[in-house]
Amino acid sequence: MKRALVCGAGGFIGGHLVKRLKSEGYWVMGVDIKDHEYVKTQADEFLKGDLRNQNFVKETFKYAYEEVYQLAADMGGAGYIFTGNYDADIMHNSGIINLNILEYAKSDKIGKIFYSSSACMYPEHNQLDPNNPKCSEDSAYPAAPDSEYGWEKLFSERIFLAFNRQYKLPVRVARFHNIFGPEGTWTGGREKAPAAMCRKVAEAPDNSSIEVWGDGKQTRSFLYIDECLEGVRRFMDSKEFTGPVNIGSEEMVSINQLAQMVMKISGKNLSINNIDGPQGVRGRNSDNKLIREKLNWEPSLPLTEGMTRTYKWINEQVQNSKLKGIK
């Protein structure tokens, strides 16, 4: 039986990854500073603690693991990472987590280690035209991410690759592009655009409007969680290729189009009110040439299907919290 360590197992992607690994027959150690908010973990062992603390990291590496997945980060949507209000924490916390984990992962008890970087590390100057953004892996330099979150990701993917070169640590570095789905943060300020959109639509009375940040013409692509994990698992199973590689969808939409899609899914008659708010770059889309080439695979689930599943789950959360409010 293969052993895997999932750092960030109490979070959105980590929670789903634990389930995926269990379904494949792994023994899984989950680690996080908090329990998962929405589901009971399926990890065989779950250690709760702070990965900024070296002693705790040492404890998590008490076993030999064929695979380590490093997903823990100080993380949030545009309202968290693009306001500038949390930059010091974001850089310091995530930086130290990655440094600590690499220190212990370089022992010979580790098979491969996966690191989740982000499309936020791509330079802003290639993402000014919403209809024609450039995010091929080789466009990363000269570096100019538009957020400190992106700079930290760039630093950390470089240090993972440096450990690969100097200590022969088998690393797999992926750049995720907006992963979404059920069982992720949907309220409280750290939620990302797809979840925020679903919540706003679920909360809005029929024949009203929802607020959307910016002019709504900014573009993005969004990848459903199951597809993300398929990419991660295929990447981990691949030989030699360390990345960085994009794991994202090439189905680019404007933010207003995303809002309209959710309104249609809900069946409600709503309009959009575009207001000032943090937006990030003007345009971003995954470029899947490299993943097609290296893994002979790319995501294919239409955005509307993933959004339908996500809306259903968030609508349930909204209705349940309304009921609790009434009691």
Q: Shortest Cβ distance from residue 86 to ligand NAD (Å)?
A: 12
89, 35 contact by CB (below 8 A): no
Rule CB under 6 A: is residue 79 a binding residue for ligand NAD? no
Q: Shortest Cβ distance from residue 19 to ligand NAD (Å)?
A: 13
Binder among 6, 10, 69, 306 for ligand NAD (CB under 6 A): 10
Rule CB under 6 A: is residue 50 a binding residue for ligand NAD? yes
> Interface with ligand NAD by CB under 6 A: which range of 21-29, 67-75, 271-279, 289-297?
67-75
At 267, list the tokens. Answer: 């069946």
How far apart CA 268 and CA 255 sit, in angstroms, is 18
Q: Shortest Cβ distance from residue 267 to ligand NAD (Å)?
A: 27
In the complex with ligand NAD, the residue whose CB is nearer, 282 or 284, is: 284
Rule CB under 6 A: is residue 51 a binding residue for ligand NAD? yes
Q: Shortest Cβ distance from residue 307 to ligand NAD (Å)?
A: 14
Residue, CB closest to ligand NAD: 11
179: buried, middle or exposed (CB in 10 Å: 19+, 13-18, 0-12)? buried
Instruction: Bin 183: left if φ > 0, else alpha if -120 < ψ < 50, else beta.
Output: left
In the complex with ligand NAD, the residue whose CB is nearer, 10 or 133, is: 10
149 as an active site residue: the answer is yes
Radius of gyration of the chain (CA): 19
Q: Shortest Cβ distance from residue 247 to ligand NAD (Å)?
A: 9
Q: Which of 86, 122, 149, 311 is catalytic?
A: 149
Rule CB under 6 A: is residue 178 a binding residue for ligand NAD? yes
197, 259 contact by CB (below 8 A): yes
In the complex with ligand NAD, the residue whose CB is nearer, 7 or 212, is: 7
Q: Shortest Cβ distance from residue 310 to ligand NAD (Å)?
A: 12
In the complex with ligand NAD, the residue whose CB is nearer, 118 or 279, is: 118
For tokens 């294919």, name the residue: 300
> Interface with ligand NAD by CB under 6 A: which range of 3-11, 58-66, 83-91, 274-282?
3-11
Closest CA to 141 of 125, 159, 118, 153: 125
Binder among 60, 116, 127, 249 for ligand NAD (CB under 6 A): 116
Which string of DSSP letters, residue by residue, matches 175-220?
EE--EE-SSS--SSS---HHHHHHHHHHHSPTT-EEEEESSS--EE
Give the DSSP H/E element, type plus range, for residue 151: helix 148-167
Which residues inside 121-160 make contact with ligand NAD, applying CB under 6 A? Answer: none
Pairing of strands 65-70, 110-118: parallel
- Helical segments of 85-147, H only: 87-105
In the complex with ligand NAD, the residue whose CB is nearer, 30 or 204, is: 30
Rule CB under 6 A: is residue 192 a binding residue for ligand NAD? yes
Closest CA to 137 of 173, 100, 109, 97: 173
Q: Which residues make Cβ contacts (< 8 Å) with residue 322, sequence separation at least 6? A: none
Q: Please report, as ranges, the residues that interact with ligand NAD according to CB under 6 A.
A: 8, 10-14, 32-34, 50-52, 71-75, 93, 97, 116, 118, 176, 178-179, 185, 192
| Active centre residues (catalytic) | 149
